């Protein structure tokens, strides 16, 4: 049985999943789903409302993912003032590796 993830990483996974769903939706929309939906519903206004809601939700998901804080140092995990890496395997501030248990790391007193 794999070791249990710390709750902070479960939250990270939920944020990442929301962002991936939002991006897949945007790609599908750009691929013609919006036009098809507007044709099925027969009302372009409703399709535009759905598009606006999806864009808003996508921006929210992106902001929520970007705001994820390192469970070890408390700073933004994926970006610094001059650099951003949304797929970073470790905190860009302290080097704390993704998926590690922050409580165990603190108990050990090292990263």
List of residues contacting Zn ion (CB under 5 A) = 70, 72-73, 91, 93-94, 96
Structure tokens at 9: 């990483």
Distances from the Cα of 2 to the Cαs of 5, 11, 30, 97, in angstroms? 9, 18, 39, 17
CB of 101 to Zn ion, least distance (A): 14
- Measured between alpha carbons, how far is 111 from 35 in angstroms, rounded to an integer? 50
CB of 105 to Zn ion, least distance (A): 10
Tell whether the torsion through CA atoms of 98, 100, 106 and 111 is positive or negative: negative
- For Zn ion, which is the closer residue by CB, 12 or 72? 72
- For Zn ion, which is the closer residue by CB, 8 or 26? 8
CB of 69 to Zn ion, least distance (A): 8
- For Zn ion, which is the closer residue by CB, 36 or 94? 94
């Amino acid at each position: 049985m794999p070791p249990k993830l710390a709750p902070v990483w479960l939250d990270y996974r939920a944020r990442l999943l929301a962002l991936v769903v939002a991006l897949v939706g945007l790609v599908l929309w750009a691929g013609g789903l919006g036009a098809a939906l507007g044709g099925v519903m027969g009302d372009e206004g409703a399709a535009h409302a759905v598009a606006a809601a999806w864009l808003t939700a996508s921006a929210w998901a992106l902001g929520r993912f970007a705001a994820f804080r390192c469970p070890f140092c408390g700073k933004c995990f994926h970006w610094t003032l001059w650099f951003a890496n949304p797929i970073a395997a470790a905190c860009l501030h302290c080097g704390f590796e993704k998926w590690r248990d922050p409580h165990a790391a603190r108990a050990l007193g090292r990263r």
